[in-house]
A and B are shown apart, each in its own frame.
Chain A
Amino acid sequence: NAGVTQTPKFQVLKTGQSMTLQCAQDMNHNSMYWYRQDPGMGLRLIYYSASEGTTDKGEVPNGYNVSRLNKREFSLRLESAAPSQTSVYFCASSESGGFSGNTIYFGEGSWLTVV
């Protein structure tokens, strides 16, 4: 059981480039999330998918798009990267019910630098 796996672990982008962060979970969870973590800001929700086929905006969705490809996979896309998107990105999943009290499990994180 790998849990939540995300790739790549490290990436450097030039301003204006695009890229997709991939995430997969093998726990048969219904809900998946993308967070970003910046120093002094805690973890902020970018987008989430309460169940397969649905996606919703979180606290900081601007500049991002997501795709819930199937139950296992939830990708995050930066269409035109900006230096303000330099951050650590965490994918996460939970059993069901969005945020109704199910434990959220995080991936190992993706360190993204935009120059």
Chain B
Amino acid sequence: GENVEQHPSTLSVQEGDSAVIKCTYSDSASNYFPWYKQELGKRPQLIIDIRSNVGEKKDQRIAVTLNKTAKHFSLHITETQPEDSAVYFCAASPTKLIFGTGTRLQVFP
């Protein structure tokens, strides 16, 4: 079955810096890669997703890149702000959506 690995598990950045979170997946049949943000005590919420026929997608300060050959995808957050502090989960879907173990991002003012 699909296996999704996510790194790093924690990430601390200064406000205004960029943050990058990386995920790898094992099943070459995976074709959908969403990213979820979860604030403390809250539900996970979709922030951006990418499908296998696209290499990059951008939405304001966040972007996701996908390398199907290497089976990895990344989340990029530019100009980080304190409200970006949260746990971020990647996921991959061949037939079932499998989540990574999460990255705790802390943005210090």
Contacts and interface: CB of A to CB of B under 8 A. Distances in A.
B46 A104 contact: yes
A100 to B, nearest CB: 7
A73 interface: no
Measured as residues with beta carbon below 8 angstroms from the partner, the interface class of chain A is: 20 to 34
A3 to B, nearest CB: 9
B5 to A, nearest CB: 10
Q: Is the interface of A mostly helix, strand, loop or mixed?
A: loop
Interface string A72-114: 0000000000000000001000000011110111111100000
Contacts, number: 54
A106 B44 contact: yes
Contacts of A101: 31-32, 49, 51, 93
B101 A42 contact: yes
Interface of B: 1, 6, 9, 31-32, 34, 42-46, 49, 51, 89, 91, 93-102
Interface of A: 40-45, 48, 58-59, 90, 98-101, 103-109
12 contacts: A41-B101, A42-B101, A42-B102, A43-B89, A43-B99, A45-B96, A98-B96, A99-B97, A101-B31, A103-B46, A103-B49, A105-B46
